[in-house]
Amino acid sequence: MLENRTMIKLCGMTRRKDIIYAVNMGVDALGFILAESPRQVSLEKVRELIQNLPPFINRVAVVVNPEPKEVAEIEKSGLFDYIQFHGSEQPEMLKNTVLKSIKAISIAGKEDLAEVKKYKESADYLLFDTKIGSQSGGTGESFDWSLISEVELPYILAGGLGADNIEEALRKLNPLAVDINSKVENEPGEKNHFLVKKTFEKIKSFQSISEGKLKLKFI
């Protein structure tokens, strides 16, 4: 059932062979970090990486507090379908982008959920990630999922997701999509194909079981 399908985004892509593997595993979206990061890539590198990418796979530019000029360059490049904002950007910036927007909200405590109200009208989608100190995203750690258990808006779940906890996350929450990154790497930007496969298979297996339960309810 379509409404029961959790979309999968693999982020921090830096190698062509990892993209090919993810595509063959059935990835829905690929994330490219343009902000300062161990996984940072340039627009020129992204163009090289996505050459001959099959249709219907979304490409996401990940930025942190970009200048309007940088957003315009991303839009004009024709390389992306979404921009994912990870900083303290003003809601107007998200509203004005010609691409679809994702606003990452970093969660350390309940007080961080105030950001939902700030961005829910300007972003196409919200993404919940882990905040540890001043570091937001790419921590390899999960946050307390109970903090978002009552969020009714469709959202993307990120933050330390991998084969060891993805099933628990899907059981406890109902995310529109999951964002996988550091927990399936050998080192930043270098994906471990075994861990990617294991994580993707667990997501798809969970979906199959859930879909079977839904079908039984309609019999």
Active site residue 11: yes
C-alpha to C-alpha distances, 4 to 130, 159, 170, 208, nearest whole angstrom: 25, 21, 11, 9
The Cα 190–Cα 40 span in angstroms is: 12
d(CA 92, CA 6): 29
- Residue 195: which H helix or E strand, with range? helix 193-218
In a 13 Å sphere around the CA of 159, the CA atoms on its Cβ side amount to 24
Residue 196, judged by CB atoms within 10 A of its CB (0-12, 13-18, 19+), counts as buried
Q: Burial, 124: exposed, middle or buried (Cβ in 10 Å; 0-12, 13-18, 19+)? A: middle
Which one is catalytic: 18, 112, 129, 164? 129
- Please say if 18 is a catalytic residue: no
Catalytic center residues: 11, 129
